[in-house]
Amino acid sequence: MIKRHGPVSEDIARRYLIELIMAIEALQSKKILHRDLKLANILLTSENPAEASIKIADFGFARFLTDSLAGT
């Protein structure tokens, strides 16, 4: 997206970051560990940066968090 549209504004970057944090919190609340979170696995729902939302993809390495993994 950056190659096509150039850098996004600070407001859009902030919105993307908030959405990413909310997505990670949602996974955490369901006790899911993604284990492969990287830019290639963070997708946007639209070509237009101002309209796009964040989606997390590729759960191939994901695992459910168990008590032994949580350290309890």
Q: Tell me which residue of 63, 40, 49 sits closest to 15, measured CA to CA.
A: 49
Identify the pLDDT of residue 48. 92
Residue-wise pLDDT tens for the chain (72 aa)? Answer: 888 888 999 999 999 999 999 999 999 999 999 999 999 999 999 999 999 999 999 999 999 988 765 555
1 contacts: CB under 8 Å, gap ≥ 6: 8, 44, 47, 49, 52
Tokens of 27: 């996974």
| Domain that includes residue 11, residue range | 2-70
Q: How far, in Å, CA of 52 to CA of 68, rounded?
A: 37
Q: What is the pTM of this model?
A: 0.83
CA 68 to the chain's CA centroid:
25
Task: Catalytic residue, from 11, 36, 58, 67: name it.
Answer: 36
Domain count, the chain: 1
11 is catalytic: no
Q: What is the CATH number of the domain that holds 33?
A: 1.10.510.10
